[in-house]
Every structure is written in structure tokens, then in C-alpha cells.
């Protein structure tokens, strides 16, 4: 979140807080809760929410969603608790003034009928029954004080959570308008072919040493997790995707699919960035796509020969995913290579590795701050 977005958040949240403060007075028990208490809680909620934003903005969309739904659930529970306490301890039926009740009857008022009314839903009738409108004449002073305190605390909690919830909503709206993607975390996903694992490991270790949050399969992928699902979520959940480009990676169905998906997402979300780092320059050759299609066709032909050699009762579930990826890569290889050639790629071949990684970390941090 940049400075302009922070200013927008502060002013928009302040406007929401003022509106909530005015609205909350409609539901406040004037005899218990004055403007000062309401104002203090609204201000505290606003400050706390804005401070929390600076922490949670660095988290994943899943963390942001957890925060949102936690606020919603706690607000609803608090509001329900306030309504329940109001019905239990406030009597506003037969008098022009609100009367407060307690929970524990005084010893001299504990007759069977009073106990029945106190434990049932007709507690207000005790004022008429005992011919008094003073709560402490019927209930113990301590129970009346506790009842009032619980009403004040739950009301202020409801107001606090409502301000926090609306501040969070305003934050998400501002980010969605400015970036096209609410709360996209400052994180890097490293895509590579396993033939290039040493380079990927070195690159990831360098980014981590620079305190840059990084996702890579061998560190972040859970056992038994689906590869497709991990790739899609990692790309969606990262502001920057770094591709380690080599002839092997570009002829890998996985990496080619990842590159295409990232370019596709970038068209609809300008806050995403793709950075290509190449180990060799083969993709710059004029005939690279022709050679790539020939290799892809050979792989497809080999898979087709396997399927044709099977009997009619044997399924191709083990081969179909690979064929789909290869077909998709063949269809999109021209677009992928054109996009790579049209952007500035970093040379991470052994001779330029260290200097390029320094440039990479500087550029990533610049993007995170923007």
C-alpha cells in the first residue's frame, strides 16, 4: 500500500467512523452510555484498525480473508449478545423511562412468584408486583451493577468491531480500485524446470537472505498437494512471478503453462509483474519456435503411440494431462516467446549470476514499495 492509498484509507475510514458514531447513538442506552464513551471507542477502533492494516497488508489473500470473516463473525456474535442482554436487563414497556434489572433477587423478595417471574420472560412485571421502580429494591445492588456493566461493555464492543469491519472494507475497496486486485501480497513465486534446480535454489536463497517472501515448490508445496492447484494458487497469490528461462524450461509443459497463465492474469491486473531470468539465450534464436514445435510434436507422437498400443478397456488417465499440457504449449509457444523477447530479461548465466541477482532484488523491493 503506497502513501496515496494510505491517505485515502485514513480519510475514508475517518468518514466511516464518524458515520458509525452518529448511527450507533440511535441504539445506545442514553442513561448508561454517553457521547464521550462512544467517541473514545470509535477513535480507538479506527487507530487499531489502521495499525493492523499495515501488518496484514503483507499477508496472503487467505490471511486477509480470515481477518475479514473473523471481524464479521465476532461483530454478529457481539451484536446478538448485546440484544440478548438488553432483553434480559432492560425494561422499557410500561414506563417512559428505561428501567434496569438485575439477575439475583434480594433475600426478602425471593418468594415463589418472584422467582418464577425472574427466571422466566416476565421480569418487568416485578416492578409492578413489588410496587417500586427502583431496581435495587428488587435485585441485589451488585447484580444490577453487573448487568449495567455488561450492557456497556457489549455495546462498546459492537461499536469497536463495526468500525474495524468498515475500515477493513474501505481498505479492500481502495486497493481493488487502485490495483484491480484487493490485498495482493508482496511475495515472489519462483517458477523453474527441475533441470535448473541448482540455479533456482541459489536464486531463492538469495531472495530469502534479502528478506523477500518467496514461494518455491520444494519449500512451500505440501505433501500430497496437487501440482496444478499449487501452481495456480502460487501465481494468483504472488505479486511477482520470477521465471527461470532455459531451453529445458520452455519445453516443459509445466513452466510454459505457468508463463502463459501469468501473462494472461497480468492483462487484467496491472499490479502483477513477471520477471524472466534466463540461463541461456536459445529462446532468442529466430528458429527457436520451429525447433520447439518439432520437439513437442515428437513428444506428442510418442504419447499417442502408447495410447494406440493399449486395448479398448484401458484408460489414458495417466497420459491425458501430459498431452493436454503439450498441446497447450504448442498452441501458445509463439505468444510465450514473443512476450519474453518483448520484455527486459535478466541474464543469470554463471558469468552474470551475482550482479543480476542484485538487480533483481532491487527491482523487487521497488515494486513492493510502489
Residue 199 and residue 136 in one domain: no
Residue 126 and residue 244 in one domain: no
**The three cell numbers locating residue 249:** 524450461
Residue 329 and residue 288 in one domain: yes
Residue 202 and residue 119 in one domain: no
DSSP assignment of 154-204: HHHHHHHHHHHHHHHHHHHHHHHHHHSSTT--S-EEEE--GGGHHHHHHHH
Residue 250 and residue 282 in one domain: yes
CATH code, 257: 3.40.50.10140
Ranges in the chain, pLDDT < 70: 1-5, 53-63, 93-96, 175-184, 224, 253-257, 260-270, 370
Parent domain of 158: 3-179
| Per-residue pLDDT, 170 | 80
Residue 229 and residue 94 in one domain: no
| Per-residue pLDDT, 272 | 78
**The three cell numbers locating residue 333:** 509457444
| Per-residue pLDDT, 268 | 53
Q: Which of 115, 149, 179 is the last residue of a domain?
A: 179
HSE of 139 in the Cβ direction (CA atoms, 13 Å)?
A: 26
Q: Tell me if 325 sits within 8 A of 257, measured CB to CB.
A: yes
Query: Cα angle vertex 17, ends 12, 19, to 5°?
Result: 95
| Per-residue pLDDT, 279 | 93
Residue 154 and residue 283 in one domain: no
Residue 152 and residue 256 in one domain: no
| Per-residue pLDDT, 169 | 82
Residue 89 and residue 192 in one domain: no
Residues ≥6 apart with Cβ < 8 Å to 99: 90, 91, 92, 124, 127, 133, 135
Residue 170 and residue 216 in one domain: no
Residue 143 and residue 210 in one domain: no
**The three cell numbers locating residue 292:** 520447439
Q: CA 66, CA 34: separation in Å to the nearest integer?
A: 33
Classify strands 188-191 and 90-91 as parallel, antiparallel or unpaired: unpaired
Q: Which of 127, 144, 179 is the last residue of a domain?
A: 179
Number of structural domains found in the chain: 2
Q: Which of 124, 145, 179 is the last residue of a domain?
A: 179
Amino acid at each position: 500500500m503506497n502513501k496515496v492509498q494510505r491517505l485515502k484509507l485514513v480519510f475514508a475510514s475517518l468518514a466511516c467512523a464518524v458515520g458509525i458514531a452518529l448511527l450507533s447513538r440511535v441504539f445506545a442506552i442514553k442513561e448508561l452510555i454517553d457521547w464521550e464513551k462512544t467517541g473514545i471507542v470509535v477513535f480507538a477502533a479506527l487507530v487499531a484498525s489502521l495499525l493492523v492494516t499495515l501488518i496484514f497488508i503483507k499477508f496472503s489473500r487467505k490471511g486477509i480473508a480470515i481477518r475479514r470473516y473473523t471481524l464479521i463473525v465476532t461483530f454478529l456474535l457481539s451484536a446478538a449478545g448485546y440484544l440478548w442482554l438488553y432483553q434480559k436487563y432492560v425494561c422499557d414497556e410500561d414506563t417512559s423511562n428505561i428501567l434496569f434489572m438485575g439477575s439475583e433477587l434480594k433475600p426478602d423478595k425471593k418468594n415463589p412468584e418472584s422467582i418464577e417471574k425472574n427466571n422466566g420472560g416476565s421480569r418487568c412485571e416485578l416492578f409492578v408486583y413489588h410496587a417500586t421502580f427502583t431496581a435495587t429494591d428488587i435485585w441485589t445492588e451488585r447484580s444490577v451493577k453487573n448487568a449495567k456493566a455488561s450492557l456497556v461493555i457489549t455495546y462498546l464492543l459492537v461499536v469497536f468491531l463495526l468500525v474495524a469491519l468498515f475500515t477493513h472494507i474501505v481498505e479492500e475497496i481502495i486497493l481493488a480500485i487502485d490495483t484491480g486486485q484487493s490485498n495482493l501480497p508482496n511475495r515472489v513465486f519462483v517458477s523453474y524446470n527441475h533441470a535448473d534446480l541448482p540455479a533456482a535454489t541459489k536464486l531463492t536463497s538469495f531472495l530469502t537472505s534479502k528478506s523477500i517472501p518467496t514461494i518455491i515448490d520444494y519449500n512451500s508445496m505440501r505433501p500430497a498437494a496437487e501440482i496444478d492447484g499449487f501452481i495456480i494458487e502460487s501465481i494468483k497469490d504472488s505479486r511477482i512471478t520470477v521465471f527461470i528461462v532455459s531451453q529445458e524450461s520452455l519445453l516443459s509443459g509445466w513452466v510454459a503453462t505457468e508463463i502463459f497463465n501469468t501473462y494472461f492474469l497480468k492483462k487484467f491486473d496491472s499490479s502483477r509483474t513477471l520477471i524472466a531470468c534466463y540461463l541461456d539465450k536459445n529462446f532468442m534464436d529466430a528458429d527457436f519456435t520451429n525447433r520447439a514445435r518439432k520437439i513437442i510434436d515428437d513428444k506428442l507422437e510418442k504419447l499417442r503411440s502408447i495410447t494406440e498400443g493399449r486395448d479398448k478397456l484401458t484408460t489414458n488417465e495417466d497420459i491425458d494431462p501430459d498431452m493436454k499440457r503439450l498441446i497447450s504449449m504448442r498452441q501458445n509457444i509463439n505468444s510465450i516467446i514473443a512476450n519474453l523477447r518483448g520484455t527486459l530479461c535478466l541474464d543469470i548465466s554463471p558469468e552474470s549470476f551475482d550482479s543480476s541477482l542484485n538487480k533483481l532484488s532491487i527491482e523487487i523491493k521497488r515494486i513492493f514499495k510502489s
